[in-house]
């Protein structure tokens, strides 16, 4: 999983990493960003989901529609049956209501989808390109939020004095949701390798600390940092000044996170797009020691 604030290079690193894994086995790159760019960076022409980029590399961009479908398939009908006993609402409106009103529901299902995909075992590696950090972190709050929302349900039912027959399924559903949340947290803790992507600038470095703390709160540890856009040449006054300014932040990151694997990725004169440029990034990431 590649986390970090917007524009730092998460998609670039995810794509280069996926390319690397695809050399040795079937690999899936998943984007859960609301404005995904994996297809763009790979210059993919396949419109299938997942889309084939290379024989062993597929990409999948998960948007709101997919989330809704997943929720629908897994819980929608059951929850609706119980709710429709006392709320007169069409099924489509109900799904719309649930998926827009429950914060974190979408993110919960993104984690769930990735976990399920991983367990199906079709891919040797799954590379997960996340949304900008704020959104990604809020998914970690989801189990607690979900629990609170759902605790309301049995109370509502007992107040409405519905018979036992209708009350039990709600409790079953509640229990299953809690179990699912716990499974997803376990998956994040045990099966996901977190890489934080950042750039050597004041704001990005400041935000880094908070991001680490947030993840630690949930027992999630980042194992690696990629510092992107590092100026490595001093061919002009402009670049000399830029490189000098970056030194402060580079030093800070290396000192503060000396226990982690840190890879520096140079700033290229061109944007990173297409397989050839991605190969250049891959080479640097993996010679720099990105953990497989």
Ligand X SMILES: Nc1ncnc2c1ncn2[C@@H]1O[C@H](COP(=O)(O)OP(=O)(O)O)[C@@H](O)[C@H]1O
Distance CA 198, CA 227 (A): 5
For 281, the enclosing helix (H) or strand (E) is: helix 275-287
Distance CA 213, CA 117 (A): 28
Sheet holding 51-54, edge to edge: 51-54, 57-61, 27-31, 125-129, 2-3, 194-198, 222-230, 261-266
Q: Which is nearer to ligand X, 12 or 27 (CB)?
A: 12
Q: Smallest distance from the beta carbon of 77 to Mg ion, in angstroms?
A: 34
Q: Which is nearer to ligand X, 43 or 186 (CB)?
A: 43
From the CB of residue 123, how many other CB atoms can be counted at a distance below 10 Å? 22
Among 27, 228, 263, 290, binds ligand X (CB under 6 A): 228
Q: How remote is the C-alpha of 56 from its chain's centroid? A: 22
At residue 129, φ and ψ (nearest 5 deg) are: -95, 115
Query: x-or-dash pattern for ligand X, window 67-106, by CB under 6 A?
Result: ----------------------------------------
Distance CA 11, CA 128 (A): 9
Please, which of residues 31-50 interact with Mg ion by CB under 5 A?
A: 33
Q: Which is nearer to Mg ion, 33 or 214 (CB)?
A: 33
10 belongs to the binding site for ligand X (CB under 6 A): yes
Cis peptide upstream of residue 30 (ω within 30 degrees of 0): no
Q: Which is nearer to ligand X, 42 or 80 (CB)?
A: 42
Distance CA 82, CA 71 (A): 16
14 belongs to the binding site for Mg ion (CB under 5 A): no
Partner residues linked to 31 by β-bridges: 61, 129
Among 11, 17, 27, 130, binds Mg ion (CB under 5 A): 11
Q: Smallest distance from the beta carbon of 207 to Mg ion, in angstroms?
A: 16
Q: Answer positive or negative: Cα dihedral of 267, 269, 272, 276.
A: negative
Considering only the stretches 7-15, 49-57, 68-76, 216-224, report the one whose residues sit in contact with ligand X under the rule CB under 6 A.
7-15
11 belongs to the binding site for ligand X (CB under 6 A): yes
130 belongs to the binding site for Mg ion (CB under 5 A): no
Distance CA 209, CA 281 (A): 25
- Please state the length of the chain: 292
Considering only the stretches 146-154, 157-165, 213-221, 266-274, report the one whose residues sit in contact with ligand X under the rule CB under 6 A.
266-274
Q: Smallest distance from the beta carbon of 8 to Mg ion, in angstroms?
A: 9
Please, which of residues 21-60 interact with ligand X by CB under 6 A?
A: 37
9 belongs to the binding site for ligand X (CB under 6 A): yes
Among 167, 267, 280, 288, binds ligand X (CB under 6 A): 267
The residues binding Mg ion (CB under 5 A) are 10-11, 33
Task: Please report, as ranges, the residues that interact with ligand X according to CB under 6 A.
Answer: 4, 6-12, 37, 228-229, 265, 267-268, 271-273
């Amino acid at each position: 999983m590649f986390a970090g604030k917007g524009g730092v290079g998460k998609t670039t690193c995810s794509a280069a990493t996926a390319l690397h894994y695809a050399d040795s086995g079937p690999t899936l790159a998943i984007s859960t960003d609301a404005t995904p760019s994996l297809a763009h960076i790979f210059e993919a022409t396949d419109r299938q989901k997942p889309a084939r980029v290379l024989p062993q590399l597929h990409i999948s961009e998960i948007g709101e529609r997919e989330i809704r479908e997943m929720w629908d398939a897994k819980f929608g009908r059951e929850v609706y049956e119980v709710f429709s006993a006392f709320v007169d609402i069409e099924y489509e409106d109900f799904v719309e209501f649930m998926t827009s009103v429950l914060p974190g529901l979408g993110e919960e299902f993104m984690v769930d989808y990735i976990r399920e995909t991983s367990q199906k075992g079709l891919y040797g590696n799954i590379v997960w390109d996340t949304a900008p950090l704020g959104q990604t972190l809020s998914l970690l709050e989801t189990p607690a939020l979900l629990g609170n929302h759902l605790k309301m349900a049995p109370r509502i039912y007992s107040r409405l004095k519905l018979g036992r027959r209708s009350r039990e399924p709600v409790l079953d559903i509640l229990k299953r949701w809690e179990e699912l949340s716990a499974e997803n947290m376990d998956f994040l803790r045990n099966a996901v390798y977190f890489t934080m992507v950042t750039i050597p600038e004041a704001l990005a470095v400041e935000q880094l600390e908070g991001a680490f703390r947030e993840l630690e709160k949930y027992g999630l540890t980042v194992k690696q940092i990629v510092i992107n856009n590092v100026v490595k040449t001093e061919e002009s006054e402009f670049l000399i000044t830029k490189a000098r300014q970056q030194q402060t932040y580079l030093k800070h990151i290396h000192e503060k996170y000396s226990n982690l694997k840190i890879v520096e990725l140079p700033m290229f004169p061109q944007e990173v797009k297409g397989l050839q440029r991605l190969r250049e990034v891959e080479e640097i990431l993996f010679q720099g020691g990105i953990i497989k």
